[in-house]
Amino acid sequence: MHHLNNLIFNSMAKNQTDFYKTKDLAEAAMLTVKKQKLTTIEREGRICWFVFADKTACEQLANDYNYDEVLVDARSFHEAMSRLKGRIFSMN
């Protein structure tokens, strides 16, 4: 049983590190437009963390975003920003 508990704990710990988190709304909108799966939004006081499923892909896109190397459709980006803001404000 102890071995099984260790496997479950290790699996859970690994899964938690497989997520990508950002508090940047524009970055989160870009990731959403780029088809990255938003798993949840975590609130820490006034800060909202957007949590995405594929850490590796999100890290690459975030790096490209920081170097101004990501292109997205302006309308899709605006709509993603609006949807994320709506989710944030509905959390209150």
pLDDT at position 91: 80
Give me the pLDDT at residue 11, please. Answer: 44
State the pTM of this model.
Answer: 0.80
Quote the pLDDT of residue 26: 97
- Average pLDDT by consecutive 10-residue portion of the chain (92 residues)? 47 65 98 98 94 97 96 98 95 73
Please give the pLDDT value at position 6: 46
Q: For residue 78, what are its two tokens?
A: 């605006």
Please report the pLDDT score of residue 28 as a whole number.
98
Closest CA to 65 of 19, 18, 16, 25: 25
